[in-house]
């Protein structure tokens, strides 16, 4: 594997190897000295054309803990705001002897295009409404830590599927790892063509959560309502959305005790998720953030040091 552009780049063995490497690296988070040597002398640029808190900082931390030099370039404050094209920006940054570009862009497909122009490693940190493979890996890591093997486990993904690169990458990766996925959303927030995806699709959250519609649930992932990508009325108002699709305290009671609640963040509290669900005993939201660092360390290590290499921790 040269780049990580899509969750579809990962077969079961490769995905499992990344998760296993991440598990070995996870322990570093509780050490006093958080530094391993394998990427010493390597340079990674985080090239972000869209806002980010978790993804950018965790890629930065991951690179630094592996001893790489990490530089952040964002559209604001760069020559992008002077009208430079994506290709010119990418070639300029790559010409500085960079080993890996970690790229987030608001246009679906932009990261794949960029990867065809440069010789260095490219990691997709989210392209438009298309894919976000490292998010899917950290979600799989979190689920595996809670549930063990994902074989035959049933994961509900709920909310704004249309605008969610997280949902797309998760459907691909979770099914690769043997899980069953059900998407639940109002019909207006389901993308066209969703019928061809390898998952169930439903509209009634209570039926899905209680297991009546698609069988018992092992985990539920709530998605953010992505208002910045909406240009029309996808639902009547926020109150109606919360009533139909929010993870309220009453809905939390429908979940089996063992089932974790995930959210990629940032959360709209009171809209897609209640504070009780976000902060309660089912919630693994902060475990996801922690897993993000370990999984990104594993991805950078495997892409830059080589898939055959073992990391000594």
Which residues sit at the interface with ligand NCD, rule CB under 6 A?
Answer: 54-55, 126, 132, 135, 165-166, 224, 226, 264-265
What is the rounded distance in angstroms from the CA atom of residue 165 to the CA atom of residue 259?
23
CB 40 to ligand NCD: min, Å? 28
Half-sphere exposure of 227 (CA within 13 A, CB side): 9
In the complex with ligand NCD, the residue whose CB is nearer, 160 or 218, is 160
CB 266 to ligand NCD: min, Å? 6
In the complex with ligand NCD, the residue whose CB is nearer, 89 or 129, is 129
Extract the tokens encoding 94. 């790559």
Extract the tokens encoding 105. 């862009």
Peptide bond into 266 cis (omega under 30): yes
CB 55 to ligand NCD: min, Å? 4
CB 300 to ligand NCD: min, Å? 17
In the complex with ligand NCD, the residue whose CB is nearer, 202 or 265, is 265
Residue 247 pairs in a beta bridge with 273
**Any idea which residue has 């010789």 for tokens?**
119
How far does CA 3 lie from the centroid of its chain?
A: 16
CB 52 to ligand NCD: min, Å? 6
Residue 285 pairs in a beta bridge with none
In the complex with ligand NCD, the residue whose CB is nearer, 178 or 266, is 266
Nearest Cα neighbor of 26 from 144, 118, 126, 132 is 144
Helix (H, G, I), strand (E, B) or coil at 19: helix
The kind and range of the H/E element at 205 are helix 205-209
CB 224 to ligand NCD: min, Å? 3
Nearest Cα neighbor of 150 from 260, 285, 38, 25 is 260
User: Residue 107 phi/psi, 5° resolution?
Assistant: -100, 130
How open is the CA angle 300-119-112, to the nearest 5 degrees? 75
In the complex with ligand NCD, the residue whose CB is nearer, 135 or 274, is 135
In the complex with ligand NCD, the residue whose CB is nearer, 154 or 168, is 168
CB 54 to ligand NCD: min, Å? 4
Residue nearest to ligand NCD (CB): 224
In the complex with ligand NCD, the residue whose CB is nearer, 55 or 162, is 55
């Amino acid at each position: 594997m040269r780049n990580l552009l899509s969750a579809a780049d990962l077969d079961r063995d490769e995905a499992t190897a990344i998760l296993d490497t991440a598990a070995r690296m996870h322990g570093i988070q509780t050490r006093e000295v958080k530094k391993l040597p394998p990427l010493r002398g390597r340079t990674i640029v985080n090239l972000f054309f869209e806002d980010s808190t978790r993804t950018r900082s965790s890629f930065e931390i991951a690179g630094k803990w592996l001893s790489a030099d990490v530089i952040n370039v964002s559209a604001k404050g760069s020559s992008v705001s002077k009208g430079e094209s994506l290709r010119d920006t990418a070639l300029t940054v790559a010409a500085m002897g960079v080993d890996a570009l970690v790229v987030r862009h608001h246009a679906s497909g932009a990261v794949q295009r960029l990867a065809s122009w440069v010789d260095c490693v490219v990691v997709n940190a989210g392209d438009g409404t298309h894919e976000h493979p490292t998010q899917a890996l950290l979600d799989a890591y979190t689920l595996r830590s809670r549930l063990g093997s994902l074989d035959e486990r049933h994961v509900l993904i709920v909310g704004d599927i249309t605008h969610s690169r997280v949902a797309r990458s998760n459907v691909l990766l979770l099914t690769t790892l043997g899980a069953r996925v059900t998407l639940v959303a109002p019909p207006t927030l389901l993308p066209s063509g969703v019928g061809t995806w390898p998952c169930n699709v439903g509209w009634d959250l209570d039926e899905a959560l209680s297991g009546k519609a698609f069988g018992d649930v092992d985990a539920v992932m709530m998605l953010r309502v992505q208002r910045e990508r909406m240009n029309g009325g996808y639902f009547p108002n926020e109150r109606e959305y919360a009533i139909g699709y929010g993870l309220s305290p009453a809905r939390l009671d429908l979940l089996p005790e063992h089932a974790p609640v995930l959210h990629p963040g940032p959360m709209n509290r009171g809209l897609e998720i209640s504070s009780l669900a976000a902060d309660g005993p089912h919630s693994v939201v902060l475990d996801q953030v922690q897993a993000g660092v370990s999984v990104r360390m594993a991805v950078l290590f495997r892409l830059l040091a080589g898939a055959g290499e073992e990391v000594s921790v």
